[in-house]
Amino acid sequence: MPKAKVSTKILLQKTPTGIEGFDEITFGGLPKGRPTLIVGNAGCGKTLFGMEFLARGAMQFNEPGVMMSFEETAEELTKNFSSLGFNVNDLIARKKLHIEFVAVEPSEMEETGAYDLEGLFVRIDYALKSIKAKRVVLDTIAALFSGLTDETIIRAELRRLFKWLKSRGVTVIITGEKGIATLTRHGLEEYVADCVILLEHTIVERSATRRLRVVKYRGSSHGTDEYPFLIQETGISVLPITSLNLEHTVSKERISTGIERLDSMLDGKGFYRGSSILVSGPSGAGKTTVAAHFALAACKRNERVLFFAFEESGNQIARNMLSVGMKLEPFIKAGMLKVHAARQTAYGLEMHLATMHKLINEFKPKIIVVDPMSNMMTSGTVPEVKSMLVRLIDFIKVSQITAMFTDVGTFQSGETTGVGVSSLMDTWILLKSLETYGERNRGIYVLKARGMNHSSQIREFVITSKGIILIDAYSGADGVLAGTARVAQEALDKASKILRNQETARKHRESKRKKLSFEAEFALLKSKYENEEDELNRAILQETVGEDALLHERYKIAGLRSSDLIITAEHKGKRKHGR
Amino acid sequence: MGAKKTKEKPPISRKAKSPKKTAKWQLHLFVAGMSPRSQDAIANIHKLCEKHLIGRYKLEVIDIHQHPLSASVNQILAVPTLIKKLPPPLRKFVGDMSKTEKILAGLDLRMEERND
């Protein structure tokens, strides 16, 4: 953008229109000091474009403007345009805007010879001077052709008029009805060669879409696409409202998903703030419940949440979520949670986008939920919806809003979104219905999560009266076991565990018993040994006593035989013992 | 309202015949400067009035270059423009007033009313 500005500045000065989005696609606005032709069918917003150009010029750029209206009177214009929130009377009073009604009534006009349009010149000149105008809108000068019959004069005068306006250095908008063979019905493009903008109001599949295209812009680059635009309460806004660049700041802050174990699947911390999250799954998978968890968690953190509900009303969501233990009602009442419910078919795609933009700008939420995104499909063709979502996602990313989109995926390939916006999403949580053994259970897994080490496991989750609870799913050769199959597997596991426990206990007991029996044996042996030891000691004692007694006997006998021998023997014996 | 304004300060009240009674035909001729075409128109209409409406008309000639606001007030687009203020209905004639028959028809001047 800045680059483009610099280069075009040298080539061509531009007058910003102030119209939302328009200055972006033309890289600065309309060619300054030159006429621009706005072409379109009746009711496509030509007059409004002109009026907004003037009003915004006066309010935002301090460039007063003159409206030369050939079709509507000043009162009508004022009334119509005031309903769009512009204080036209105030602008007129402050000499920022001048509306001049130029009546071209063929019935009142009789042509009696040669004439010129000096009257118009004088009036424009007077109006320009009276408020020092820098901008002029001629809406629509083609009316001259219906009021006056001499086309040669009109064409000559128009040529003179535009030359004259160019010399005055005012930026001019001329509006013109779209022609069949030519761009405009009266060939106004002949006189205005610098910039031509085409407005269209087409009906596709019964829904109306306004489009704007820069057909031609001499000396400047411009967006060449057909841009959808809207006429809303605040005037025209051309989309894209934000330019598609990937330069938004990113946050490292993490926010909870509102489901404890889902947080732990996402690196233990939850989503990144400002990221966009896609929750996809078939109908009945629990997408809205996941979204409600997320919203509720945000409300509890004191963050504003804007919930776009395209299937249910706010009350219905609140009631349904109450049944799974989420009290949204108090937050809705407190103004923390705003539910905007609308049928997708209620109005066109652009209007939806604009409404969302407007609500986001007004409510300034931290979190938005779009439930479901896939319903947008009904209000436009695929590329349209995609481009709208790109713009929406871009817008909310720039605004640092965390957004959760739910999507009913076409589940054949499993990993595609209906609108094909998955590449725009930072985190993608897939809800899966697991059909096994004649029942349907819910599985959840994180398909992608940019910038985090997320879990790759499929978990089963159940929606209880306390909300979503994640359960470890059994992953086996046959896939994920869920529901009763899981319960059965759990029971099987439990039984085998009991068996194992019993076995262990038995072994414990056996070892204890063995120990006891060893101990008993040991005690027996010990007592046996003690017995034997006793025996042996007694024997030893007996033997010693016996020997002594024998010796004693011998001495006794010897003593009996001779008494003197006794003394010596005794003496001898004593000596012998002493040794 | 515009007529009043121009009446209060008549710019170039050339050859405007003041009526004896109230003039039945009140005509305003708007021109842009004294271009040949303006002069033609003034001469033509003057001739016409003198011929057909003598004594019964009031003609004012207004130069929109000098009175630009009057151009806006009277919804002047092309010049010269002749406006028949009275008698009603209001009618406009653009051009150099060379097509006398057309003007006479537009002025609601019946044959018997003509001065000729």
Among B residues 20-49, those touching chain A with beta carbons less than 8 Å apart: 30, 32, 37, 41, 44
- CA A516 – CA A529 distance, rounded (Å): 20
- Given pLDDT bands bounded at 50, 70 and 90, which one contains residue A10? low
**What value does the mean pLDDT take over residues A452-475?**
81
Among the partner-chain residues A111, A112, A115, the one whose CB lies closest to the CB of B79 is A115
Across the strands, what pairs with A99? A67
Q: Quickly list H helices, A421-482.
A: none
Q: Report the pLDDT value the prediction gives residue A417, as an integer from 0 to 100.
A: 54
Closest residue by Cα to residue A65 from A17, A14, A119, A24: A17
pLDDT of residue A183: 81
Task: Provide, rounded to the nearest whole percent, the portion of chain A with pLDDT above 70.
Answer: 86
**Nearest-angstrom CA–CA distance, A270 and A259:** 9
Comparing CB atoms, the residue among A100, A119, A144 nearest residue B64 is: A119
A61-119 pLDDT, tens per residue?
999 999 999 988 889 889 888 888 788 899 999 999 999 998 887 777 778 888 888 88
Q: Strand pairing of A97-101 and A65-69?
A: parallel
d(CA A308, CA A365): 12
Shortest CB distance from A119 goes to which of B77, B96, B97?
A: B77
Angstroms from B13 CA to nearest CA on chain A: 19
| Mean pLDDT value of segment A558-577 | 61
Cα B62 to Cα A545: distance, rounded to the nearest angstrom: 177
Q: What is the four-CA torsion angle of A526, A530, A532, A536, rounded to 10 degrees?
A: 150
Residue A147: per-residue pLDDT: 81
Tell me the mean pLDDT in the region A178-188.
81
Contact with chain B for residue A110, Cβ under 8 A: yes
The pLDDT tens digits for B63-114 are: 999 998 888 888 888 888 888 887 778 888 888 888 887 888 777 776 555 5
Q: Directed axis angle between helix A46-60 and helix A74-82, to 10°? A: 80
pLDDT digits (tens, 9 = 90+) for A287-329: 889 999 999 999 999 999 999 888 888 888 889 888 988 888 8
Better-predicted residue by pLDDT, A17 or B10: A17
Q: Would you say the ipTM is above 0.90?
A: no
Please return the burial class of A171, using the count of CB atoms within 10 Å of its CB with bins 0-12, 13-18 and 19+.
buried
Closest approach of chain B CAs to the CA of A138, in angstroms? 14
Q: In this predicted structure, what is the pLDDT of residue A574?
A: 54
pLDDT at A575 over 70: no
Rounded to whole angstroms, the Cα distance separating A357 from A380 reads: 18
A373 CA to chain B: closest CA distance, Å?
55
Does residue B56 surpass a pLDDT of 80?
yes
Strand partners, A210: A201, A229
Please tell me if residue A71 touches chain B, with a CB cutoff of 8 Å: no
Of B74, B42, B79, the closest CA to residue B61 belongs to B42
Q: How many CB atoms lie within 10 A of CB A185?
A: 16
Which amino acid makes up residue B33? G
Residue B10 pLDDT level (bands cut at 50, 70, 90)? very low
| Chain B: closest CA distance from residue A127 (Å) | 9
- The torsion region of residue A257 among left (phi > 0), alpha (psi -120 to 50) and beta comes to alpha
Q: Is residue A252 classed as helix, strand or coil in its secondary structure?
A: coil
Winning range, highest mean pLDDT, from A32-41, A428-437, B17-26 = A32-41
How far CA A211 is from CA of A39, A139, A203, A578, in Å, comes to 12, 20, 11, 140
Write the pLDDT tens digit of every residue in A223-266. Answer: 777 787 878 777 887 765 455 555 667 788 888 888 888 888 88
Q: What is the CATH number of domain B1-10+24-76?
A: 3.40.30.10
Helix (H/G/I), strand (E/B), else coil: A104: coil
Considering just the CA atoms, what is the radius of gyration of chain B in Å?
A: 13
Taking CA atoms, A32 is separated from A6, A121, A168, in Å, by 15, 20, 11
Per-residue pLDDT, averaged over A417-431, amounts to 75
- Flag if B103 and A110 touch (Cβ within 8 Å): yes
A148 touching chain B per CB within 8 A = yes
pLDDT value at A567 more than 60:
no
pLDDT tens, position by position, A380-394: 666 777 777 777 787
Burial class of residue A431 in the structure, from the number of CB atoms within 10 Å of its CB (0-12 exposed, 13-18 middle, 19+ buried): buried
Query: CB distance B81–A112 less than 8 Å?
Result: no
Question: What is residue A530's predicted lDDT score, i.e. its pLDDT?
Answer: 93
Question: Which one, of A343, A338, A341, A344, lies nearest residue A362 by Cα?
Answer: A338
- Contact across the interface for B32 and A127, Cβ inside 8 Å: no
